[in-house]
Structure 1
Amino acid sequence: MSPELQSVSPAVCLFGVLTLLLCPSGLCDCKMPPPIAHGSHEDVSSFLSFTTVMYYECDEGYILVGEPKISCKYSQWLSPAPQCKALCLKPEIENGKLSVDKNQYVEPENVTVEDHYIETENVTVQCDAGYGVVGPQTITCSENGTWYPAVPKCEWEAPTGCEKVLAGRKLTQCLPSPEDVKMALEVYKLSLEIRQLEQE
């Protein structure tokens, strides 16, 4: 054996003995780190450390809920793995608004992210005056980053007694010029008068 190898050998042997004494395989043999949906993990353990440290990241479109790092010591993970929650973009609702106005929403679950409490992302659609919700009024940010059920619409509702006015309003939208609108309204008015006379 060369002099160089002879000088290194005791150190290697000593390190091996220390490793066995301080960290027998039965104590430090951590199982595979827990996987997470919509994310990945990486071993960021320090060199010569007898503690395994895993760092978690989420895929694009998801937010990390929980601690990004978890440690394993004595064959046990000291904390649960974090979760990756879906982000939903704010839906555009014409003639209406949402009960909670934000740019991004997280799929439901009452959780804490870095000491900030996140409310469940069930939102209610509120239509402007004169408009009614067509579809489910409450929607939820789902796991795949979309709204469930589908985002409803706000459509114009004719109040009771205003049906004739609404019919006239639709008529004006279908004609090309103000003269045609005026003539159509005169004809419409005349037809209403005739109908009223027939009923008397």
Structure 2
Amino acid sequence: MPPLRSPSRAQCLLGAMVLWLSPPVKCDCSLFPVIAHGSGQDMSSFFSFTTVVKYECDEGYILVGEPKISCRNSHWSASAPQCRALCAKPQIAHGHLSVEKRQYVERENVTVQCDPGYDMVGPQTISCSENRTWDPEVPSCEWEVHTGCEPVAAGRMLMQCLPDPQDVKLALELYRLALEIKALGRREPLGGDS
């Protein structure tokens, strides 16, 4: 019986190309998409006409998208997933984040807010980058020095300069002690010369 002449067709079977008609056509399911910071593993069964790939990410990265995709007749069921970086929660003394979590995903933005009485030094918004660091660099919250607070000379000014009542109490006690020591230094020693 003479071979049939019709448009060329190809079919993937058992990981090899089986040509039913000529000329040969490449099977697109044999090579699955490669992803950055992760890898894919062919999970296809031996007798299946469908290629199934399962993806996993390297340590420090999280999978975004479908963990398994399949291909049949040269068509993938979905795009390959992505492995996105994870950034650790930044530690900011005297400040907090707009969204508090243990880890943040690549491209996620957070806003830093300083506690009352503290000024921000650096950018207010930071983003988790692909190399698992914050970009730009994490800002700091530094104590805001009010005008007139640099040389605190009287206890009544302390309330304006110190944010915590316990700090005010301690400063007042130290100020009182300093005055007593100063007063003692002015007194003449007891039991002078006879």
Show the counterpart of 1:36.
35
Report if the CA contact (8 A) 1:70-1:78 is conserved: yes
From 131, 137, 147, the equivalent of 2:118 is 131
The Cα of 1:78 is off from its aligned counterpart by 2.4
The Cα of 1:72 is off from its aligned counterpart by 1.0
3-state secondary structure, aligned to 1:30: helix
RMSD: 3.2
Which of structures 1 and 2 has the larger relative contact order (alpha carbons within 8 angstroms, sep 6+)? 1
Report if the CA contact (8 A) 1:28-1:51 is conserved: no
TM-score, structure 2 length as denominator? 0.66
Distance 2:60 2:133 in 1: 11
Show the counterpart of 1:74.
73
The Cα of 1:20 is off from its aligned counterpart by 6.0
1:1-200 residue pairs with structure 2 within 5 A?
26=25, 29-108=28-107, 121-165=108-152, 182=178
The Cα of 1:30 is off from its aligned counterpart by 1.8
- 1:129–1:52 CA distance, 2 compared to 1 (3 A): same
Distance 1:78 1:26 in 2: 21
- Code of the residue aligned with 2:115 in structure 1: it is D
- Code of the residue aligned with 1:145 in structure 2: it is R
Distance 1:75 1:137 in 2: 48
- Code of the residue aligned with 1:48 in structure 2: it is F
- Code of the residue aligned with 2:178 in structure 1: it is K
Show the counterpart of 1:111.
none
Report if the CA contact (8 A) 1:28-1:50 is conserved: no
Distance 1:27 1:52 in 2: 15
3-state secondary structure, aligned to 1:54: strand
Distance 1:128 1:36 in 2: 42
Report if the CA contact (8 A) 1:42-1:54 is conserved: yes
Structure 1 residues without counterparts, runs of 5 or longer: 1-14, 109-120, 170-177, 187-200
- 1:73–1:26 CA distance, 2 compared to 1 (3 A): farther
TM-score, structure 1 length as denominator? 0.64
Distance 2:110 2:117 in 1: 21
Structure 2 residues without counterparts, runs of 5 or longer: 1-13, 159-173, 183-194
- Give 1 or 2: higher helix fraction: 1
Distance 1:127 1:20 in 2: 68
Please list the CA deviations of residues 123-157 of structure 1 after superposition, one character each: whole Å capped at 9, or x if unmatched. Answer: 11111111011111111000111111111111001
Distance 1:130 1:62 in 2: 37
